[in-house]
Amino acid sequence: MSDRLPPDPGRPRPRSANAEGRLRRYLLVNGVAIWVSVLILVVLRVAVVGKSSTIEWTIEVLAGAGVVVLAAVALASRARSTLAAFMVVVATWGVALAITWFTPFIAPVGLLALLLPLVIVADHLPRRGRAAIVVTTTLLSGTIVAVGSLRGDEYDRAYAYSPLQALMLALFVPLLVSVLVLGLRDYVSRLQERTRELEESRSRLAQASVEARRGIERDLHDGAQQRLATLAVDIGRATRLWEKDPAAAGEVVRGLQGQLELAIRELRDLAHGIYPTALGEKGLPGALPAAARRTVLPCTVDARDIGRHTPAVEAAVYFCCLEAIQNADRHSHGTLISVLVDESRDGGGLRFRVTDDGTGFEPDAVPDAHGLTGMRDRIRAAGGELRIESARGRGTTVEGQFAPGTRQPR
């Protein structure tokens, strides 16, 4: 594993397999729509219209965009969704401008094409990338309207009106509207899925909170409370013996110190499980190495130069890393556990990764595992995203990402 996570301030959050699958499906649908359009235009050029520079230019533009989309499909299949999304956005802009320039009478089609990236692939881009796309799309919409208006008169003078114009409008408008409607439907599905996940996560967190309080009550009752009750009995016995047998009373009092030390240690251990003192005082660079020293397997921690973040984020990262470390220590059968925490150079998003070189497992085979679900819920409740990757014989990687804005000033 590298010394640091790749310095990418605008890196998007880790995404689920469903999100990646949706992007690939959209790219495939978009590519099919483009190449079907090319095929129809070629048929029109050969069998109906004959030689037409307008159709030839449109075919060339669409074919170029189709090649870009196919390349984006290949990148998305290799989990490079950010680059694939950028390529599709740029290709769409090029198509919108080109078809407006060559065929200004279908400028409305160009405007529809501009909307597609905003609806479908923007979620796969970094935050600053999305902002740049919104601004650029707004500017391009005005440019397309201006080009369509300026080129319209020139086009009408050069080419007499023909049924070809109506035919091209009838071809492209329904095609783009269909893709746009599918994109909107997919976007609504994503929102519904995220809402359902948040509701389920909230319910699980509430139940976990109740169970945690019961656990604390049980630990206090069985541990420190029993110890303190014994101390109270011994103090009473020492008081009764003080006048009758001072030597016996002194012996009882001397034994109280050891019991007090045990009670203090039990309370400290319990408090450490609730919220470690080192985490509150020193942050993640101070708390994670202490957790790593309690493992049986060797565990390395790299959290250098990490600033302080909000308590909710630091607690989520710490307990998620702690759970991943303990799982690797108990179940991985590996030889090394590595913990890496990093943040962008401008103090933006916090990222962490816990890896082991053990036997691994199939995450899909244990979708309802309490520990894995708890980690996801804790990170999502703090505003982040979590990804767990593992396979038989290839170890396990637990990786989380938070958007910029969680860092606190020094």
pLDDT tens sequence for the chain (410 residues): 444 444 443 444 444 455 667 777 777 877 887 788 788 778 877 776 667 677 787 788 888 888 888 888 888 777 777 888 888 888 888 888 877 777 777 777 777 777 777 777 777 777 777 788 888 888 888 888 888 877 776 666 656 556 666 666 677 667 667 766 776 777 777 777 777 777 777 776 666 666 666 666 666 665 667 667 777 887 888 888 887 888 887 887 777 777 777 777 767 666 666 677 788 888 899 889 988 888 889 999 998 878 888 888 888 898 899 889 988 998 888 999 999 998 865 445 789 999 999 998 877 666 555 677 778 888 888 888 888 888 888 889 999 988 877 777 66
Domain ranges across the chain: 17-199, 223-274, 281-402
Residue 299's pLDDT is 93
Of the candidates 300, 309, 302, 283, the residue with the CA atom closest to the CA atom of residue 334: 300
Q: Are strands 350-356 and 396-402 parallel, antiparallel or unpaired?
A: antiparallel
Cβ atoms of 285 and 304 within 8 Å: the answer is yes
The torsion angle over the Cα atoms of residues 155, 156, 159 and 164, rounded to 10 degrees, is 100
Q: Which residues are within 8 A (CB) of 78 and not within 5 positions of it... i.e. 6 or more apart? A: none
* CA 378 and chain centroid, separation: 13
Distance, CA of 237 to CA of 231 (rounded, Å): 10
With b for 16 or more beta-carbon neighbours within 10 A and e for fewer, the 120-155 pattern comes to: bbbbbbbbebbeebeebbeebeebbeebbeebeeeb
Q: Which residues are within 8 A (CB) of 19 and not within 5 positions of it... i.e. 6 or more apart? A: 81, 123, 124, 190
SS3 140: helix
Annotation: CATH topology of 281-402: Heat Shock Protein 90 (3.30.565)
Distance, CA of 33 to CA of 189 (rounded, Å): 22
| Residue with tokens 């949706």, as numbered in its chain | 22
The dihedral built from the CA positions of residue 281, 286, 288 and 292, taken in this order, carries a sign that is negative
Distance, CA of 175 to CA of 112 (rounded, Å): 10
| Residue with tokens 């902002």, as numbered in its chain | 131
The secondary structure of residue 382, as a DSSP letter, is: T
Residue 275's pLDDT is 72
Q: Which residues are within 8 A (CB) of 128 and not within 5 positions of it... i.e. 6 or more apart? A: 9, 10
The dihedral built from the CA positions of residue 195, 197, 201 and 204, taken in this order, carries a sign that is positive
The dihedral built from the CA positions of residue 370, 373, 375 and 377, taken in this order, carries a sign that is negative
Q: Which residues are within 8 A (CB) of 152 and not within 5 positions of it... i.e. 6 or more apart? A: 104, 105, 107
With b for 16 or more beta-carbon neighbours within 10 A and e for fewer, the 171-196 pattern comes to: bbeebbeebbebbeebbeeeeeeeee
- Neighbouring CB atoms inside 10 A of 405's CB total 13
Task: Give the tokens for residue 392.
Answer: 């038989």
Cβ atoms of 107 and 100 within 8 Å: the answer is yes
The secondary structure of residue 347, as a DSSP letter, is: S
Cβ atoms of 375 and 4 within 8 Å: the answer is no
SS3 305: coil
Distance, CA of 222 to CA of 216 (rounded, Å): 10
Task: Give the tokens for residue 158.
Answer: 């050069």
